[in-house]
Amino acid sequence: GQNIDQPTEMTATEGAIVQINCTYQTSGFNGLFWYQQHAGEAPTFLSYNVLDGLEEKGRFSSFLSRSKGYSYLLLKELQMKDSASYLCAVGTGGFKTIFGAGTRLFVKA
Amino acid sequence: EAQVTQNPRYLITVTGKKLTVTCSQNMNHEYMSWYRQDPGLGLRQIYYSMNVEVTDKGDVPEGYKVSRKEKRNFPLILESPSPNQTSLYFCASSLTGPRGNEQYFGPGTRLTVT
């Protein structure tokens, strides 16, 4: 079967760095996406990886290892507004997208 | 403003009463998709469309229908809603699909079936 695993919840302190892991097993792979979703709102795109390695975008970085079926999202200089759910998603064979259940991040002062 | 719109935003209905949730995008995207989001389960894909008149099932298509007669619109139809379809629904669009393009999500439709 196909599945994506990520931790349910994480807590971190304002100003710190947090790493959210995602492991996946899918039939086919067309890239891995990270989305941010604040409570009561729609998901918004953060990053995309299709090749192995690190992609950096401001305070956010995303890493991919296709051989290990593993990705992580790194958030630096955490701010209170980063409190949200972070969704890992994989574009599988064809045009389907599989999402993980999401990681709820709490940023405390 | 580039956006995906959904209507209605909130809907309470009764079992068996047919309903349609509309979705429209103004970005000339080829790919559109419907998801439902339930606590602990995340987003699950219901149906997607690669272009006009081309649709395919996602992971949870039972009890739903879709159509894509125009590029901008992708309505979700529940012919006979049941309580297990109570959920938060999101429509999304993408330039050409998940092969390299992010999806833009609508604001969501919260559906309650009693």
CB nearest to A100's CB, from B31, B42, B50: B42
pLDDT recorded at residue A46:
96
Task: Single out the residue of B84, B64, B82, B62 nearest to residue B23, CA to CA.
Answer: B64
Query: Would you write out chain A's pLDDT as a tens digit for each of its 109 residues?
Result: 789 999 999 999 999 999 999 999 998 899 999 999 999 999 999 999 999 999 999 999 999 999 999 999 999 999 999 999 999 999 987 789 999 999 999 999 9
pLDDT recorded at residue A27:
86
Give the pair of three-digit tokens for residue A15.
């100003």
Assess contact for B76 and B34: CB atoms under 8 A.
Answer: yes
CB nearest to A96's CB, from B48, B103, B107: B48
Residue B100 has pLDDT above 80, yes or no: no
Task: Single out the residue of B109, B90, B92 nearest to residue B12, CA to CA.
Answer: B109
B100 and A31: CB-CB below 8 Å?
yes
Task: Single out the residue of A72, A75, A56 nearest to residue A24, CA to CA.
Answer: A72
pLDDT recorded at residue A72:
98
Pairing of strands B87-94, B31-38: antiparallel
Task: Single out the residue of A72, A98, A83, A94 nearest to residue A1, CA to CA.
Answer: A98
**Measured between alpha carbons, how far is A18 from A10 in angstroms, rounded to an integer?**
9
Residue B2 has pLDDT above 90, yes or no: no
Between B40 and A49, where is the model more confident?
A: A49
pLDDT recorded at residue B96:
84
Q: What is the DSSP letter of A30?
A: S
A-contacting residues in B 48-87 (Cβ below 8 Å): 48, 50, 56, 58-59
Q: Does A55 touch chain B (CB under 8 A)?
A: no
pLDDT (tens digit, 9 = 90+) per residue, A37-51? 999 999 999 999 999
Looking at every residue in chain B, the average pLDDT score rounds to: 95
Q: What is the largest CA-CA distance in chain A?
A: 44
Alpha carbon of A83: minimum distance to chain B alpha carbons (Å): 17
Q: What is the mean pLDDT of residues B50-74?
A: 96
Residue B90 has pLDDT above 90, yes or no: yes
CB nearest to A42's CB, from B44, B45, B106: B106
